[in-house]
Amino acid sequence: MKSLLIYLKDYRKESVLAPLFKMLEASFELLVPLVMAAVIDVGIAQADGIYIVKMCGVLIALGLIGLVCSITAQYFAAKAASGFAAGLRHDLFAHIQSFTFTEMDTVGTSTLITRMTSDVNQVQSGVNLVLRLFLRSPFIVFGAMVMAFFVDVRAALIFVVTIPLLSVIVFGIMLVTMPLYRRVQSYLDSVLLTTRENLVGARVIRAFHKEQDERGRFEKNNQQLTDAQKFVGRISGLMNPLTYIIVNGAVIVLIYTGAVRVNIGELTQGEVVALLNYMSQILTELVKLANLIITVTKAVACGNRIEAVLKEQPDMESGEAFWENVSDGLPGEDVKAEAPAVEFDHVSLTYRGAGGEALSDISFCVERGQTVGIIGGTGSGKSSLVNLIPRFYDVTKGSVRVGGRDVREYKTEELRGHIGMVLQKAVLFKGTIAENLKWGREDATEEEMEEALELSQAKEFVDQKEGRLDYRIEQDGRNLSGGQKQRLTIARALVRKPEILILDDSASALDFATDAALRSAIQGMKENPTVFLVSQRAASILHADLILVLDDGRVAGKGTHEELLKSCEAYQEIYYSQFPKEAV
């Protein structure tokens, strides 16, 4: 949590002025009992109406000045807390954006959402209350004790006994509840995960009639959260009654001893009232402090969770090489004919936490402009293989080279800026078609976007949309069909005019005619990109220059369609399952 305080550095002035104005307000508040004692001992005792009116004016002045100080403190505290949260949220989001797929898989989406929203809000509330009350409440508690000594030393000894007892209760409960609040937030992660899965998969849940099961799973997670909150709430709830018992006990002792000493003339009635007022101030401030401690405890627990995410460092370091200025054969200005566009050299990949290798000892070369088809059964490692080219994951053994240079040597932005990637799941963002296409390249012209739409076979349905490129897409493209979404994601990649184009099973929702037209259009691109085509359809990769057949993370065969049909049993099995021998 301490490392997060750096986000207050731009609000040093507010962080100092907020507690200072609060203590100034508290100073005026501490003077009130003395004024009241003077009203009783002088004004009322001597029936001096003018003096009473004068002292009432002093009380009103103290109240107004205290109000101005309080409002000023609230303003500075709110400004510092909201600025702190904005800076923290900004850096947290930027840090999450730097995560590789490995960290995203490990930490989990639901956990990161909780950190970005609920946890940051809790920390913001904690900072706000700390700036306003963390110094004010102790200042009044100990200030009241000091002022009690000015009134009467013997009566002030009651304060000396009461305050340490209250401190033990407050800080003891804080130490017990802090880890419990951390557990509460982890249960909140589980509830958020269940909720997110249910909302995203609502159609699947209903299709399989699993509403009751999912409701039961949600209720179980929700009950865990509820039970944890109740348990820590019961412990936190002890704070108020325990503090009330001690303070009211101290009040009883104070009234008893004060009455006895008033009778014998050692104390005046006004001094007893002042002492009672100071005890009441202590009670009020300790109730505030108790609530503050609860909020701060939650904030610290949430801050530690945020800190853990910020300490999670990406396991990839960006290289320093640029795409264009390499003389050993990059697909850029200085391309050597002998340098392969992409080369896998005895590559193996093991995902973090996995028991075995996802890819094992894979080697092949692809020349610039060639088309590579990748086929295999479900879970054979097709997506894992193509994800290594833009360096979404790092190899655990061997190396992946683009244009003769290891991908780990490139600046990450440079490498990915020249690769067009269409992932398995078609993801579009809320906005116009043009805005989505410009994710491929921000400065793309309308002509270039039209060309990309035509190549991706998306022009046909875009022409039918009102406004065409200005047609608004809803969140996650829910106002488009699956095939339309896939064609737009392909168009988005083609707008970039990439040197390497990776289509990871991105035509699964297209009919065979559209799929064939798409492949033909890509083959005819004047940029002549190197194409990696992942597909479950043998028809989609028949005419590839090189076909890789994957089986359980290994290359079961590589070559052209004719070569594999003669020599590769795994390819024959896939091919003949889609094209019966009689038809062939």
Tell me the three-class secondary structure of 349-411, residue by residue.
ECCCCCCCCCEEEEEEEECCCCEEEEEECCCCCHHHHHHCCCCCCCCCEEEEEECCEEHHHEC
pLDDT for residue 478: 78
On the CB side of 415, how many CA atoms lie within 13 Å of its CA? Answer: 25
In a domain, 214, yes or no: yes
Cα-Cα-Cα-Cα torsion 198, 200, 204, 208, nearest 10 degrees, comes to 0
- Whether 357 and 528 have beta carbons less than 8 Å apart is answered as no
Q: 284-333: per-residue pLDDT in tens?
A: 777 777 777 778 877 887 888 888 888 877 777 777 766 654 434 444 44
State how many domains the chain has: 2
Cα-Cα-Cα-Cα torsion 184, 188, 194, 196, nearest 10 degrees, comes to -170
Amino acid at 430: K
pLDDT for residue 336: 44
Q: What percent of the chain lies above the pLDDT cut of 70?
A: 96
Nearest to 451 by CA among 395, 389, 494, 422: 494
pLDDT for residue 72: 92
Residue 233 shares a structural domain with residue 307: yes
Nearest to 404 by CA among 360, 373, 365: 365
Cα→Cα distances 140→136, 145, 154, 159, 572, Å: 6, 8, 20, 13, 84
Report, as an integer, the average pLDDT of 181-209.
82
Report, as an integer, the average pLDDT of 340-360.
84
In a domain, 450, yes or no: no
CATH code of residue 285: 1.20.1560.10
In a domain, 38, yes or no: no
Residue 252 shares a structural domain with residue 184: yes
In a domain, 547, yes or no: yes
Q: 305-314, 331-340, 472-481, 558-567 — which is least confidently predicted?
A: 331-340
Distance of alpha carbon 523 from alpha carbon 508, whole angstroms:
19
Report, as an integer, the average pLDDT of 460-483.
82
Q: 524-557: per-residue pLDDT in tens?
A: 888 788 889 888 888 888 888 888 888 888 888 8
Helices (H) and strands (E) in the chain, counts: 21, 12
pLDDT for residue 324: 54
In a domain, 523, yes or no: yes
Report, as an integer, the average pLDDT of 127-137.
84
Q: 91-95, 228-232, 482-486 — which is least confidently predicted?
A: 482-486
Q: 174-193: per-residue pLDDT in tens?
A: 778 878 877 887 788 788 88
Long-range Cβ pairs for the range 33-38 (8 Å, 24+): 33/147, 33/273, 33/274, 33/275, 33/277, 33/278, 33/281, 34/147, 34/151, 34/274, 35/59, 35/62, 36/270, 36/273, 36/274, 36/277, 37/151, 37/268, 37/270, 37/271, 37/273, 37/274, 38/270
Token digits for 225? 């959260």
Report, as an integer, the average pLDDT of 4-23.
85
Distance of alpha carbon 537 from alpha carbon 550, whole angstroms:
14
Residue 189 shares a structural domain with residue 282: yes
Distance of alpha carbon 177 from alpha carbon 173, whole angstroms:
6
Q: Residue 269: which domain range? A: 87-311
Q: How far is CA 380 from its chain centroid? A: 32
Residue 299 shares a structural domain with residue 348: no
Among 295, 311, 327, which residue terminates a domain? 311
In a domain, 230, yes or no: yes
In a domain, 365, yes or no: yes
Residue 352 shares a structural domain with residue 394: yes
pLDDT for residue 335: 42
Report, as an integer, the average pLDDT of 559-584.
79
Among 290, 311, 332, which residue terminates a domain? 311
Residue 238 shares a structural domain with residue 376: no
Each residue of 331-355: b (16+ CB within 10 Å) or e? beeebeeebbbbbbeebbbbbeeee
Residue 133 shares a structural domain with residue 190: yes
In a domain, 487, yes or no: no
pLDDT for residue 330: 44
* Beta strands at 500-504 and 419-422: parallel, antiparallel or unpaired: parallel
Residue 227 shares a structural domain with residue 353: no
Report, as an integer, the average pLDDT of 100-125.
81
Residue 168 shares a structural domain with residue 270: yes
On the CB side of 166, how many CA atoms lie within 13 Å of its CA? Answer: 31
Crossing angle of the two packed helices 269-311 and 239-263, in degrees rounded to 10: 160
Residue 209 shares a structural domain with residue 277: yes
Give the three-class secondary structure for 429: coil
Nearest to 294 by CA among 225, 236, 235: 236
Q: Which residue has the tokens 């600025």?
A: 83
In the 8-state DSSP scheme, what is residue 535? -
Cα→Cα distances 571→332, 349, 360, 545, 582, Å: 35, 23, 19, 15, 17
The pTM score is: 0.68
pLDDT for residue 322: 65
The C-alpha angle with vertex 306 and arms to 303 and 309, in degrees rounded to 5, equals: 150
Q: How confident is the model at residue 223 (pLDDT cuts 50, 70, 90)?
A: very high
Residues across the chain: 584
Among 289, 311, 333, which residue terminates a domain? 311
Q: Which residue has the tokens 């022409």?
A: 463
Residue 304 shares a structural domain with residue 359: no
Q: 355-408: per-residue pLDDT in tens?
A: 778 888 888 888 888 888 888 888 788 888 888 888 888 888 888 888 888 888
- Whether 459 and 453 have beta carbons less than 8 Å apart is answered as yes
- Whether 349 and 395 have beta carbons less than 8 Å apart is answered as yes
Long-range Cβ pairs for the range 65-68 (8 Å, 24+): 65/28, 66/25, 66/28, 66/29
Residue 353 shares a structural domain with residue 297: no
Nearest to 552 by CA among 395, 360, 347, 349: 360
Say which residues have a Cβ less than 8 Å from residue 137's Cβ, sequence separation at least 6: 285, 286, 288, 289, 292
CATH code of residue 514: 3.40.50.300
Nearest to 361 by CA among 344, 373, 376, 378: 344
pLDDT for residue 520: 84
